[in-house]
Amino acid sequence: MSTKRDSVVICEVGPRDGLQMAQGRMATDVKLRWLRQLADAGLREIEVGSFVSPRAVPQMADTGDVVRGALAIDGLTVCALACNLKGVIAAHEAGAHVVAIPISVSDTHSRANVNKGTDDQVEAVRAIVDWVRAQSRPMRIDVAAATAFGCSMEGQVSRKRVAQVAAALAAAGADRVALADTVGYADPALVRDTVREVQDAIGARLTKLHLHDTMGLGLANALAGLEQGIREFDACLAGLGGCPFAPGASGNIVTEDLVFMLESMGHATGVDLPRLLAARALLHEALPGETMRSGVAAAGIPRTFRASAALA
């Protein structure tokens, strides 16, 4: 078990994964005010939107403007999601520092979502890498191996398969690979075993976990990853996001509670918890119909809490 108390990067995905599932729309200027609050709270990496069809996901139609606005926030790493070369080109044109590309490990899930199998998608990543590398401005390419801990269509996904796809993505030139529990089926033993197998295949190229709290196991799964050396996690303010495969289910792991856990354990996240909690107000105002979760927000920061800096 890795108990080294080093720093952990939290990538806030609320403006993308959270808002894309929301019933209401958030206006561009409100998004930018919210991004600024999140950055002011200390989040250094934010997935600000996605370059996908505005017909399919109207909440993301303004992602170009959001990326351009976010670039004005000092020190912020601006990420955007894209599913194909067209989206990657748009992300690059807008000036995103990082493009995040989801690829389903489950072939069935991949075909259902993008009408292409996993192997074809890996080939598409290779073409994307070639295109990005040919540009004068560099852009980091992160690939998220979706359905890495199970699939609502195929059921269990073998760890061997996950490691093979991760190795293929690394070979295709992806800078970083993340494992995503897209449908929320993971448990801590599965996270531990899968992370180990993928680390054996691609080493430190596996950087991040994207976890959902569907079954209430989100932070336990994050702990299992942390113990295997993972130092980067996606999370969502107020746990927005839901699960498209389970109506009414919880969404992403909750940024506030993840920060509380990590800082309490002595891991520096760079995030100021009271300021992070304050960033909930704008979200609630803009999208009053959304369920906002967080144990820390409901109970208040306990008087025993010491941020990692105070523990050092």
Q: For its own copies, how many residues bind (rule: CB under 8 A)?
A: 47
End-to-end CA gap in the chain: 20
Using rule CB under 8 A, residue 299 touches its own copies:
yes
How far CA 128 is from CA of 16, 99, 207, in Å, comes to: 21, 10, 20
By CB under 8 A, tell whether 271 contacts its own copies.
Answer: no
For the purposes of burial, counting CB atoms within 10 Å of the CB of 20, is it exposed (0-12), middle (13-18) or buried (19 or more)? buried
* Binding-site member from 23, 55, 115, 216 for its own copies (CB under 8 A): 216
Q: Which is nearer to its own copies, 199 or 305 (CB)?
A: 305
Stretch in the footprint of its own copies (CB under 8 A) among 15-23, 172-180, 275-283, 303-311: 303-311
Q: Which of 190, 235, 276, 282 binds its own copies (CB under 8 A)?
A: 190
Identify the active-site residue in 11, 79, 236, 243: 243
DSSP letter at 253?
A: P
- Rounded Cα distance between 183 and 153, Å, is 10
| 260 neighbors 10 (Cβ within 8 angstroms) | no
Tell me whether residue 243 is one of the annotated catalytic residues.
yes
Among candidates 249, 237, 218, which has minimal Cα distance to 284? 237
Cβ proximity to its own copies: between 137 and 303 the closer is: 303
Can you tell me the distance from the alpha carbon of 5 to that of 265, in angstroms, rounded to the nearest whole number?
7
Q: Exactly one of 24, 54, 58, 155 binds its own copies (CB under 8 A); which one?
A: 155
Active site residues: 243
Residue numbers at the binding site for its own copies (CB under 8 A): 1, 3, 150, 152, 155-156, 183-185, 187-190, 213-217, 219-220, 222-224, 227, 243, 246, 248-250, 254, 257, 260-261, 264-266, 293-296, 298-300, 302-305
